[in-house]
Structures are given as C-alpha cells and as structure tokens.
Structure 1
Amino acid sequence: MSEHIIAFIMGIVEGLTEYLPISSTGHLILTGHLLGFEGDRAKTFEVVIQLGSILAIVVLYWKRFFSLLDFKSLNIKKNNRQRLNLLHVFLGILPASIVGFVLHDFIKNVLFSTTVVLVALVVGAFLLIYADKKHTTVTANTLDQLSYKQALYIGLFQCLAVWPGFSRAGSTISGGLLVGASKKTAAEFSFILALPIMVGATGLDVLKNMDAITSGDITTFVIGFVTAFVVALFACIGFLKLLDKVSLSTFAYYRILLAIVFAFIIL
C-alpha cells in the first residue's frame, strides 16, 4: 500500500478520534501496526498529524482563544471564579507538561506498543464509567464558571494521558466531571487544553527526531496533517452534539470492545 494512502487513512483515524475519549494515539498505534507503518518515522508522523486536529480547534474556537488575551480577567475574586482566562489554561496544562517533558524518552521508547495501548484502553474505560456514575453535582455549566482549582484538578487528570491509549480527552473530560463540570464544559475545556499541550509535544518530538524526517517525507506528512484537520473540524462539532444524547459509558464500552478485538488480532 502506498505511503500516501496510509497517510490519508491515518489522518482520518486521527481526525475522528482526537476529541473523543477513546484515545487517538491508541487508534493510530493500532492502525499503524495493521498497516505496517511503524518505527521512529511513524511515531513522529503520528504526533505531527495530531497537530492538524488541534488546528481545527483554533478555527472553531478562535473567539475564545482571542478572549484569553484579556488580562483584566485575571483579577482574583472572592469566590475564586472568573471568566476563563490564561491562568485556567496554564493550570490545566502545567502538570501534564512537566510529566510529559520528564518522561518523554521513556514514553516514546517503552510505552508506544500495542500491548501497552490495549491495557490503557481498558483502564481508561473504567475511569470513564466511574466518572459517568459519579457525575451528579454540577458547579460549572459553562467554561466561564470553571474555578482555578477545578482547572488544576483537570490538569492533574490530564497527566494520565502520557500513557498512550489512555486518551487525553478521556482523562480530562473524566476529571472535569469528577470536579463538577458539565459534560459540555469538560469537553470544551479539554479542547482548549489540547492546543498548547499538542503544540509543545509536537515541537519537542520533531526537534528530537529531525534526523528521522527527510524531504521525501514532506508530502506524506502534509497529506496526514490536512486530512486530520478537515476530519477533526466535523468530528469536534459532532462530538458535542453526541454528548447530549449518549453517556460517557458508551465510549468506555467501545474502548473495551476495541481492546478485545485487537487483542485477538494482534496478540
């Protein structure tokens, strides 16, 4: 199979899964294994096309990102709540940024395997089910009602996402539900946190793997990047609408089923 076709398929998989709590990284690793697209180039390709999906959020939420530059909203109030601002985002990305930076080589060299992903899919599924069952009290119905403490707690949950297959969206949305955010608020905050996290991860990964990328790879990377961007635009909108109709446990059951199917195929 042509690498360009593989890039197109991988781009579709990434775009469809980046914002769902089912692990885009896990799906890419499993898909790459089935297509025979593995190794250092493949790992870097997977990170780069994730940035394509993240760019979709910039397009969909450009007004929200622009409003984050309003530093007046940083003034601390007695109730510890203010309009969503850069401090919320900083607190949300700080824990995972530190863990990801410190463990980067270990994650890339040890955790990027199909077996590790399958285990993470199941463990992450149980977190989704637990968060879904425990989600009874809502204190933040919108992004602007999130407190700094809630943002930090969600950031701590995002640390789980350094485990390939666990799902960044799954960990942050679960964390959001457990600290009192509505499903839509938790999902949208997860979208916003994705931008700085993935830009940082992509930049770090590309710098460390420049030798694995050649000029001949540019077309393959561009195809995957653009495909992921376009598909993610529609997937993100569809996911928010889907949240009104299904529970997070539905995605958890899918993760468990996926792990079982791939265990029979791969192991």
Structure 2
Amino acid sequence: MDLLIILKAIFLGIVEGLTEFAPVSSTGHMIIVDDMWLKSEEFLTKYVANTFKVVIQLGSIMAVVIIFKDRFIDLLGLKRRTSEAVTQKRLSLSKVVVGLIPAGILGVLFEDYIDEHLFSIETVLVGLVVGALLMIAADLFSPKNKKIESVDQITYKQAMVVGLIQCFSLWPGFSRSGSTISGGVLLGLSHRAAADFTFIMAVPIMFGASALSLLKNWQYFSMDALPFFIAGFLSAFVFALISIRFFLKLINRVKLIPFAIYRIVLALVIYVIYF
C-alpha cells in the first residue's frame, strides 16, 4: 500500500474526527469528500471502503469515551459514590437507553435500505439543508427561560423526545448531533446540556452500529488494508479529541445558527460544483 493511499486514509480520518460530533454531519462530509475527490472505492473494494469508514468512526467514539470517561464510569455504576453524591441528581443509564430506543429500532429495521438508497450526494444535500432549518428553528423558538443547564436534570420524557428526533439523523447529511441538540434545545435544555446528552447517547448507538457493520464485513479485512485502517483510526481519534473539546467550550456561546449557515452554504457550493 503506497504512501498516497495512507495519506488519503489520514485525510478521511481528519474529516471524520472534525465533523462527527459537530452539527454539520460527518457522514455527509465523508460522502462529499470521498465521492467527489478521494474516491476510495477506486483503490479499495466497495466493502473494504465501507468497512474503513466504520473503523474511523470507532476512532471518534474512543475520543468521546475518553472525554466523558468519568460520566460513563458513573453511569455503569463502577464508581463508589459518597453519601453526599448519592443524594445528588445524576443522569441515569436508563434515561440514556430511553433516548437510544427509537433510532436504534429504526436503524436495525432500515439499515440495508439506507445503505443502498440514501448514501449519495443528492440525499446528503437534502439532509444538510433540512437539518440546518431544524437547527435555526431550535435557536429561534427555544424557550427563553431555559430551566435545564445540566444533563443530570433531563427527564425520561425529554430523553424519549430527543431520541425520537434523533431518528432524523438516519438520513445521511442530517447529522446526529444536529438533530439531537436541536431537539434538546427546543425542549428547554441549554445548548451545552443538549450537547452532553448527545455525546453520551452517541457512544452506545455508534458502537453498536459499528460493531454490527464490522461483523457483517469482517471477511473483507486484510493485512494489505491494515495500514490504511490504522492511519484512518488514529487520525480520526486525535482530531475528534480536539474538535469535541473545542465544540463543548463553544456551543453555549455561538449556539446552532452559525453551523446551520455553514451547512446551507456548503450545500449550495456542492450543488453548483456537482450539478
């Protein structure tokens, strides 16, 4: 495997890492970058190329696990809590599960259809624009006096509604974080609380989807492709660490509309270039 292919893997990993948890759609960016420029299926088989995209997504997931490691330890009951901590309201694992159920069910039922029919430039452009409109609506019509500043205050009803809105993200280009943060903000969560809940929910659903895809495509792994996978995984992991920390510091200040404007401009630019 030559150096150029490794560099392409690193670049795709960077795109994944920078966009996976920002509300701009990593899937949409991956499709745009790969279909319009890198064309990984020209030097890898279709199945290996798709498996590679799963592998680099795992790099982004690992970044979230590290950043929220204390939260996950607490959710799994692996951390002894003091008597004072026990009395404090904390996000429970059951609320995360409630938020995961809708998209998890639809994802399993329609995975093959989505893979076959929705992964194209055209569908991504639709997802980018419609998702942007939802984000703008969230900022404009969210409750003015937000009562929920911490992810620990989320109720079961709010977790379920956010989970239902997350189903929109099954459409490539819509964005998981864009849909769930928008849903949370419309329900009265602060942007940071909505982002925290989004990232926490992302780990099990992304890990489950990635694991399922890897099991289905395990036979397509080869020693020849291993350097490509490793390079992409590491670059996605490093840049996801950077982008997530930056995004969490930024989101309460800039909110969603700047990201929505970027999505609309990107869609227009790609439409002009591609069509």
Give 1:70's aligned residue.
77
Deviation, 1:135, is: 1.5
- 1:19 alignment counterpart: 21
- 8 A Cα contact 2:56 2:236, kept in partner: yes
Deviations 1:30-55 (A, max 9, x none): 11111112433222221221111111
Once the two structures are superposed, residues 181-238 of structure 1 have per-residue CA deviations (whole angstroms, 9 ceiling, x without a partner) of: 1100000111101100111110111122223332221111111111111111110110
Q: Deviations over 1:130-150 (max 9, x none)?
A: 111111242311011111111
How far, CA to CA, are the matches of 2:187 and 2:253 in structure 1?
Answer: 22
2:10 and 2:235 in contact (8 A); partners too = yes
Q: Which residue of 2 aligns with 1:5?
A: 7
1:110 aligns with 2:117: yes
Q: Is the 8 A contact 1:70 1:85 kept in 2?
A: no
2:39 aligned partner: 36
**Equivalent residue pairs, number:** 259
Unpaired segments ≥5 residues, structure 2: 79-87
Q: Does 1:122 align with 2:129?
A: yes
CA-CA distance at 1:246 after TM superposition: 1.2
Out of 91, 94, 102, the residue aligned to residue 98 of structure 2 is 91
CA distances 1:113-156 after superposition (whole Å, capped 9, x unpaired) = 11111111011000000111111242311011111111111111
Partners of 1:226 and 1:140 lie apart in 2 by: 35
Confirm or deny that 1:149 pairs with 2:157. Answer: yes
Instruction: Provide the aligned C-alpha RMSD in A.
Output: 1.7
Please tell me whether residue 181 in structure 1 is matched to residue 189 in structure 2: yes
From 237, 244, 248, give the equivalent of 2:252.
244
Deviation at 1:259, TM superposition (A): 0.7
- TM-score scaled by structure 2? 0.90
Give the secondary-structure state (helix, strand or coil) at the position aligned to 1:164. Answer: coil
1:240 maps to a residue whose letter is L
Change (3 A) 1:150 1:19: same
- Work out the CA distance in 1 between the residues paired with 2:223 and 2:107: 28
Q: How far does the alpha carbon of each residue in 1:42-77 deviate from its partner, in whole angstroms, 9 at most, with x for none?
A: 222212211111111111111100110239xxxxxx
Paired-residue identity, % = 48
Q: Secondary structure at the match of 1:216?
A: coil
Q: Equivalent of 1:190, from 192, 198, 202?
A: 198
What is the match of residue 78 of structure 1? none
